Structure 1
Amino acid sequence: MYIKRGTPRPTEGAVADFVRKHTTIPVPVVLDNITIDNVTTLVLAELPGDPVEAVRAEYGMTDEQSRSLSRQISALLAQLRAIPPPSDAVSGFNNTPVHCERISIGSRPYGPWPSVAEFHAFLLTFNVQAPPDVHDKVWSSINTSHSRTHRVCLTHNDLGPQNILVDEHYNITGIVDWEAAAWMPEYWEYTKSIYLPWYRKGWWFEIMSSVFPQYQVERQADVYIRSYRERYL
């Protein structure tokens, strides 16, 4: 087993239990989850395997292994995304604020928002200032993306190769670190997973783009918002 103390949010253990109850996603078993004086201690059973990025660094990754990993991620996330949301709100797991590095430095909490439309309006409070030569293209992309109808889905919200455990054959043995999990627009799992600069191209970008080929409009809009926002909360 292993212990997370101080940094985990009180909902992380609840999310792990909820995901285990409603899916076959391999998540850590929560042995204890207590908060005293605003300090949370989370005791979890260790899962087998190592992070994808560590296994790839040691063994490399063939094209077929990449395709297999993409199929596995897609199948597991399909279960997560099939869970009915408690409401139309974009929120943390228990209708709490959302903690997300894509939104604010240090994952400072914001929200919840009553709807996806109001969440999108919040994203534009970053004051997107596109240069004149690309202004129309940028806003056309953003408006097209935000005018689409998006479901609210339970989202891991930090799905990177550091949080997916695999064996040496790239069979997924666990998905860990659920503390940022939230009810987000359906495309957010994709755009958040490739948000960090080192995941915006290359092997991880290819895998996640294969998992979510339907959200390229949303990805481009997110790129523009990220690139031309005047400030970062």
Structure 2
Amino acid sequence: MWRLVHRALSVLCPLLPGRVRFRIWKLLCSRGSRSWEPDGQAQRVEGHMYIKLSTLVRPSEGQVTDFVRRNTNIPVPIVIDNVTVDGETALVLSELPGTTVREIHRDSGVSDEQAAKLSRQLARLLAGLRSLPPPASGVCGWGHGPVHCERICMDSKPRGPWSSVDEFHTWMVARSRIVAPPEKSDEVWSCIKAAHSRPHRICLTHNDLASQNILVDEQFNITGIIDWEAAAWMPEYWEYTKSMFLPWDRKGWWYRIMRDVFPQYEVERQAELYIWNYREVYS
């Protein structure tokens, strides 16, 4: 029932003036904070909804979430409203069933069987995302603009766009100022060159695929992939390597899951590890 309600609201909300909608969502956020703790930027509110409301919320998150819902089989929230007033954006999303994989891991761990099941589902769902035709503008953020990504720039300032994957690679290596130890220099640069010389398609990429952004039910079926704020058109291996940007995600069960989803990008993963380990510029 709630899904029908949320779809109806997504049609009706744009009929109201933006300032009226914004005030309603701000009031609901205030009410929701009395009953539920915020989940990052998102505040749970009445009506099985979540609201992200601040100057840090980008309208592009709602736009790409709606695009993914309409063009793939990936379960994502319904965008009920996405309104900006005086520099503040209120992004209103439907609640999805399930529990994050990170919560399950913290509470009871992820078995080998569950990890394999998750890999199979992710491979199928992400294949649809990666089959979408890319824009002619090259490597870029949503709307052909710059990319918001802490892997590219640790302070998350947007960078780009780049007209091609080659241009992106050239910029990334130059910016990183890689200084490898003399005894490893040939190995490091040979790996980076091999990875970057491979032909890569440009694919729509979640760009923050992690265990806290994947929801599953009790049978470990994926019920949702959330938080699309960093989504961008990136080289095809980026979903894999970016998912292991944080040191604790580079080994163990999460690494095994993502390796099984993307077994073809081990050279690119090693090249990224070298860049991360030996770069001088972090922001």
TM-score of the pair, normalised by structure 1: 0.98
Q: What SS does structure 2 have at the residue aligned with 1:106?
A: coil
Give the greater-gyration-radius structure (CA): 2
Query: Do 2:118 and 2:222's aligned partners in 1 also have CA atoms closer than 8 Å?
Result: yes
Aligned to 2:187: 137
Aligned-partner Cα distance in 2 for 1:69–1:57: 17
Alignment partner, residue 3 of structure 1: 51
Which structure 2 residues correspond to residues 21-40 of structure 1 after superposition, within 5 A? 21-40=70-89
Q: Post-superposition shift, 1:122?
A: 1.0
The equivalent of 1:51 in structure 2 is: 100
For structure 2, the residue ranges without an aligned partner over 5 or more in a row are 1-48
1:58-110, CA deviations, whole angstroms, 9 ceiling, x for partnerless residues?
33322111101100011000000000101251000110100001011231100
Report the residue type matching 1:212 in the other structure: F
Q: Would the aligned equivalents of 2:115 and 2:257 in 1 still touch at CA under 8 Å?
A: yes
Establish whether residue 208 from structure 1 lines up as the match of residue 258 from structure 2: yes
In 2, the alpha carbon distance for the partners of 1:58 and 1:128 equals 39
Q: For residues 195 and 161 of structure 2, what CA distance do their matches in structure 1 show?
A: 21
CA positional deviation for 1:20? 0.9
Aligned residue runs from structure 1 range 74-223, under 5 A? 74-87=123-136, 89-125=138-174, 126-223=176-273
Give CA deviations for 1:162-189 in whole Å, capped at 9, x if unaligned: 0000112211000000000000000000
Are residue 62 (structure 1) and residue 111 (structure 2) matched?
yes
Q: Secondary structure at the match of 1:54?
A: helix
Contact 2:142 2:232 in 1 (8 A): yes
Contact 1:88-1:152 within 8 A present in 2 as well: no
User: How many pairs align?
Assistant: 233
What code does the residue aligned with 2:81 have?
Answer: D
Q: CA RMSD in A?
A: 1.0
SS in 1 for 2:143: coil
Q: Greater relative contact order: 1 or 2 (C-alpha under 8 angstroms, separation 6 or more)?
A: 1
Cα distance in 2, alignment partners of residues 205 and 89 from structure 1: 28
| Greater mean alpha carbon deviation, residues 83-92 or residues 93-102 | 83-92
Q: Is the 8 A contact 1:89 1:183 kept in 2?
A: yes
2:114 counterpart of 1:41:
no
Separation in 1 of the partners of 2:211 and 2:146?
A: 25
Q: Which amino acid aligns with 1:222?
A: E
Structure having the higher helix fraction is 2
Q: What is the CA–CA distance in structure 1 between the aligned matches of 2:154 and 2:84, rounded to whole Å?
A: 24
Is the deviation greater in 47-56 or in 215-224?
47-56
Identity of matched residues, %: 61
Query: What residue identity is the alignment partner of 2:251?
Result: K
Contact conserved, 1:129 with 1:228, CA < 8 A, in 2?
Answer: yes
Instruction: Give the stretch that moved more between structures: 134-143 or 58-67.
Output: 58-67
1:131-183: CA deviations, max 9, x gaps? 11000000000000110100000000000000000112211000000000000
Paired with 2:181 and 2:106, the residues of 1 have a C-alpha distance of 40
